[in-house]
Structure 1
Amino acid sequence: MASENGLPAEIDDLSLADPPSLDNQLSQFRMAWQREIIERQPSSSESSARNSPIDGGITEHNVKELQLAKLSKEDKAKLLFVEGIKAEENGNVLEAVDLYRRAIQLVPEVESMIDYRPVPSARERKESENSVEGCVIEEDEEELDLVAKFMKLQVESKTICQPDWEQRSVHISVLPVEVLVYIFKWVITNDLDMIALENVAMVCRGFYLCARDDEIWRRACLKIWGVNTGKSKKYGGWRNMYIERPHLRYNGCYISKASYVRPGERNVDNLYRAWHTVEYYRYLRFFPEGTILMITSPEDPVKILHKLKHRGGKPQGLLRGVYRMTDNKVTAVLKRVKTEYLTSGYARYKRRLLNVNQNEPERTFHLELEVCNAGRRKYAQMVWTHYSVHQLRRLTGEESVAEFDLNNKTYPPLYFSRVKSYTASADRPLQ
């Protein structure tokens, strides 16, 4: 019920009281009234309190304090820390320090609980929702697979990639697609380092699309299988053919480790005889044009692998030959490479002595191996299926064949190991 003055009856009855008591009750009523409005409409009360604060009423500081009072301890610390960040960005260093101090007093590890990711705007959220809805409406359930989506992406000549910040020099994004694909052919090199291409594809979306160019993978398939390449429709693309069809790896070596036990000499009293465990490695390296290198050595791979980097190397004990691959079978014929001698007079005399016996047999090594998967690594294992040595005596024309008994102890499977130094530099791009 209102009085003639337009005030509530409770306030009109207070006119009989003393002036100090009336002011106190009016201020209390204002406080209660403002608090009730804030609880019902927080946004409108905060804006009204911020724009036109009432003397003796709720100010902006009081509104924040009321908000903090309703939050939990962790949420209160997070809010204070975020307010401190905003104050620091606005240049209010003292206020920011005070807010940081209050937040850390509540929760010491509050900084690790803050999510610094930018909040997307309403327009960005709407665009993302529309794009997702469009994918769901237009595509089938099978096409929602991530790999299928990536395979459907296409290169746009003007949007290969964009620099993250302003560049003073020319950025790679200004290059056309054709030039970028040519650069990728240099990354692969003529020895088919396809792993390097996959690593480059992880740089950005544009590089990923350029690395999936059909021309690159078609050339790689032709380099491996030549006239027996066939058509890519059977596999759904040239890249799928390279992945699914058995092939060799060229950016490293196939290595196996074997061991055997041999008896040693007896001691003086003939009561003790030593036994020695001999360990040795067998290395195989293939080149795309059909060259194969093989060497057996007791030395560790670190000392041997660099000797197989080039096709024309002549380390001691090297076998060089040619190979051919049919399905998942590799057949090869190798001959021992003669080690180069020094050009000194004694070296020439020793070489003449070695060539005295003209009836020394000429040996050729015949290998047959099967390419298999090594767990999740595709075509990273080679299993021996045949190994023989053919000897031909030049003077008599006699030929003999010695076949080896293959077992996992003397001829264990060879496993592929990538050697980065083989493709660290390139003489020619993929052709």
Structure 2
Amino acid sequence: MAEENLDIDATLEEEDESSHDPNLELQLDAFRTRWMSELKPSYAARPPRASAQRKTQDIVREEKAAELYLRAVKEEQSGAFYEAIKFYRLAMQMVPDIESKINYSHSDADQTEENYREERDADGEIEDLVAYFEHQVTFGSCCPKICSPALETAQMHISALPREILMYIFRWVVSSHLDMRALEQLSAVCRGFYLCARDPELWRSACQRVWGHSCNKLGHYLSWREMFLQRPRVRFDGIYISRTSYIRQGEQSLDGFYRPWHHVDFYRYLRFFPDGSVIMLTTPEEPLSVVSRLRTQNVRMDAVKVGHYRLSQETDNQTKVYAVIRKRKEEKSSELQKNRFYRRNQAPEAEHTFHIGLLLSSAGRQSFNKLTWMHHSCHITYKLTGETVISAFDLNKMYTPFIFGRVKSYTAVSDQAL
């Protein structure tokens, strides 16, 4: 028993010595440290965020696109247009608005281009786009063209047309209806089309079509386009509509118990044409069913009155429209003339002519879209005696102002060039 006790004590002493081994303590401390680091990783060991990576990629892509764009500019200046188009396309595929982000180097060629840049306003836009685009279209080219094809094609491109033919096409776009809205939309295609749409002769012809050939001087306007847009005029790409509503008292019932009241609505339609003619229609029908029928001057409606108008600009802020209209003459039926009892000496005929005076003004965001009544009279002329009787109408609540509404179908087809 004494020997066994000695063996147990020796074993315990060995275990106590092994538990106090310094190497084991170091391994245990290293394990604890590694274990804690896995549970709580440090912020320095975290990977960068996705937004930071994306920002870095955008910066690299923009620098590459800028390099391609500057190379395209050099190719264009040297006359290698197809190579320039290729690099332009690659740059814009990477960054669509790379042109606005380019910082041009101040070399001799770039300095020449910078001399054509106009001062920018508070919004950062170029004031004189015409001079700026003229330089960009003709810069570095001995044979300037209006535009260039974006891709190589075996077909004839519109840029091969002479400027005179292209301007004739633009006159067809404007047409005899003076669709200047379509011209402005066409100018947004490219820089060359923008220059063609700002051609002074084009806008001069439009001004003469509105105010006559006596309109030969700009006056205080800077350009013909500014005159057409700012000088008061009637509009041709739509129709002026006046809606009148009133309450009419009905007849009393037989027993005198009640008297009905009627709510009456009717419309007046006024359409102007560039050749000085005007048509007017008074009807209870709503615009949805009438507007499409007033597309041309040859309207097949009995109630339509036709005539002519003129503009009278007394001051810069006051323009009046005077119109003289009459009912369209009806052709006598052939059956009535063949009748043996047809009276050769008919009763004295009278011709009714209506004289209208309107004040042109602007209301809301649109320009020249309101016509206010100033005068309305009926001139009755008896053909037998030549006597004329004038009856003036009282401009009460029955004469509401005309408000303009644009109609797309009126300028959808070009009948004649400007």
Q: Which runs of 5+ in 1 are unaligned?
A: 1-65, 81-115
Going from structure 1 to structure 2, the CA distance change for 1:137 and 1:387 (only over 3 Å counts) comes to closer
2:376 matches 1:387: yes
1:411 aligned partner: 399
TM-score scaled by structure 1?
0.66
User: In the alignment, which of 274, 279, 290 is matched to residue 288 of structure 1?
Assistant: 274
2:138 matches 1:150: no
- 1:170-189 equivalences under 5 Å are 170-189=156-175
Displacement after TM superposition at 1:148 (Å): 2.2
2:236 aligned partner: 250
- 1:162-201 equivalences under 5 Å are 162-201=148-187
Displacement after TM superposition at 1:147 (Å): 5.8
CA RMSD of aligned residues (A): 3.9
TM-score scaled by structure 2?
0.67
Secondary structure of the 1:371 match is strand
Letter in structure 2 aligned against 1:425 = V
1:204 aligned partner: 190
Secondary structure of the 1:410 match is coil
- 1:311-326 equivalences under 5 Å are 311-326=297-312
Secondary structure of the 1:367 match is strand
2:95 aligned partner: 118
1:217 aligned partner: 203
Displacement after TM superposition at 1:379 (Å): 1.1
Letter in structure 1 aligned against 2:175 = T
2:215 matches 1:236: no
Q: Check the 8 A contact 2:249/2:262 in 1, yes or no.
A: yes
Going from structure 1 to structure 2, the CA distance change for 1:307 and 1:331 (only over 3 Å counts) comes to same
2-structure distance, mates of 1:357, 1:137:
78
> For structure 1, which segment, 367-376 or 151-160, has the greater mean C-alpha deviation from structure 2 after superposition?
151-160
2-structure distance, mates of 1:246, 1:194:
15
Count of residues paired in the alignment: 328
Residue by residue over 1:341-360, the C-alpha shift from the partner in whole angstroms, topping out at 9 and shown as x without a partner, is: 776x47987x968x985224
2:360 aligned partner: 371
1-structure distance, mates of 2:258, 2:106:
82
Displacement after TM superposition at 1:296 (Å): 0.8
Letter in structure 1 aligned against 2:49 = S
Displacement after TM superposition at 1:231 (Å): 0.9
Secondary structure of the 1:324 match is strand
Q: Check the 8 A contact 1:314/1:340 in 2, yes or no.
A: no
Displacement after TM superposition at 1:129 (Å): 8.1
Percentage of identical aligned residues: 38
> For structure 1, which segment, 233-242 or 205-214, has the greater mean C-alpha deviation from structure 2 after superposition?
233-242
Displacement after TM superposition at 1:420 (Å): 1.9
2:46 matches 1:69: yes
1-structure distance, mates of 2:163, 2:394:
54
Letter in structure 1 aligned against 2:159 = S
> For structure 1, which segment, 186-195 or 174-183, has the greater mean C-alpha deviation from structure 2 after superposition?
174-183
Q: Check the 8 A contact 2:118/2:127 in 1, yes or no.
A: no
Q: Which runs of 5+ in 2 are unaligned?
A: 1-42, 58-92, 314-318
Letter in structure 2 aligned against 1:70 = P
Going from structure 1 to structure 2, the CA distance change for 1:210 and 1:359 (only over 3 Å counts) comes to same
2:89 aligned partner: none
Letter in structure 2 aligned against 1:405 = D
Secondary structure of the 2:362 match is strand
Going from structure 1 to structure 2, the CA distance change for 1:211 and 1:73 (only over 3 Å counts) comes to closer
> For structure 1, which segment, 165-174 or 211-220, has the greater mean C-alpha deviation from structure 2 after superposition?
165-174
Residue by residue over 1:305-329, the C-alpha shift from the partner in whole angstroms, topping out at 9 and shown as x without a partner, is: 2332222334111111111112111
Q: Check the 8 A contact 2:175/2:415 in 1, yes or no.
A: yes
Displacement after TM superposition at 1:67 (Å): 11
Secondary structure of the 1:382 match is strand
Q: Check the 8 A contact 2:119/2:126 in 1, yes or no.
A: no
2-structure distance, mates of 1:310, 1:119:
45
